[in-house]
Amino acid sequence: MDVFNKIVGPLMLAMALSGAAGSATAANLLVNGSFEQPGCSDSCILDTTAKANFITGWTTFLSGAEYFNVRASIPGSAAAEGAVIVDLANNVYGNGGGIQQNFATVVGAKYRLTFSLGNSVYASRSGDGVVQVKVAGQTVTFNTPTVKGSVVEWNTVTYDFTATTAQTTLAFSNEQNPYVNFAFIDNVIVEKL
């Protein structure tokens, strides 16, 4: 019995603590927050209504978005998570681009949005940009990192909000000149607090 307590006891305690730690991490309420599905081998311009639902879980609006494998498109660069990212400054049209997703929420509950913003001076861009976020009746603007080199640099930001409806829409957009600015996003997470 003493051997049992010395070996099995600590093992069971470790498993219990591991399970408790695992439950402390909330699940992402969004589908495909790192944009990996369906994937894009190089660059995919999502600029028509036929392509509006190309990115699993997301819908484009305004003039759409650019969806691309950053390693294949901008030498030396990497996504914040995975391989593909979204550029809200769609370079096909000058009237802005965006993506959005609806997800279930509890009215009055608090949530935390976390996502990565990126930028680069690749292709003669300025190295700065903005991303507009609309969620739960709130609109807030975040600046991408200001960069001097062509390799994409990332910054992670958080924003807390309270749900006002049982279905919440999270929307990201950019209305800057797409030939001057990038507005990269990746690794989007919404968790209930």
Q: What is the pLDDT of residues 68-90, one digit of tens each?
A: 999 999 999 999 999 999 999 98
Q: How far is CA 31 from each of CA 27, 112, 116, 141, 144, rounded to the nearest angstrom?
A: 11, 15, 16, 23, 23
CB contact at 8 A, 132 and 99: no
* The pLDDT value given to residue 50: 83
Structure tokens at 146: 């200001």
Question: Above 90 in pLDDT, residue 19?
Answer: no
Q: What is the pLDDT of residues 145-185, one digit of tens each?
A: 999 999 999 999 999 999 999 999 999 999 999 999 999 99
* The pLDDT value given to residue 25: 61
Question: Above 90 in pLDDT, residue 16?
Answer: no
Question: Above 50 in pLDDT, residue 4?
Answer: no
Question: Above 70 in pLDDT, residue 17?
Answer: no
Question: Above 90 in pLDDT, residue 18?
Answer: no
The CA-CA-CA angle for residues 136, 139, 144, to 5°, reads 125
- In the chain, the domains with their CATH numbers are 28-192 (2.60.120.260)
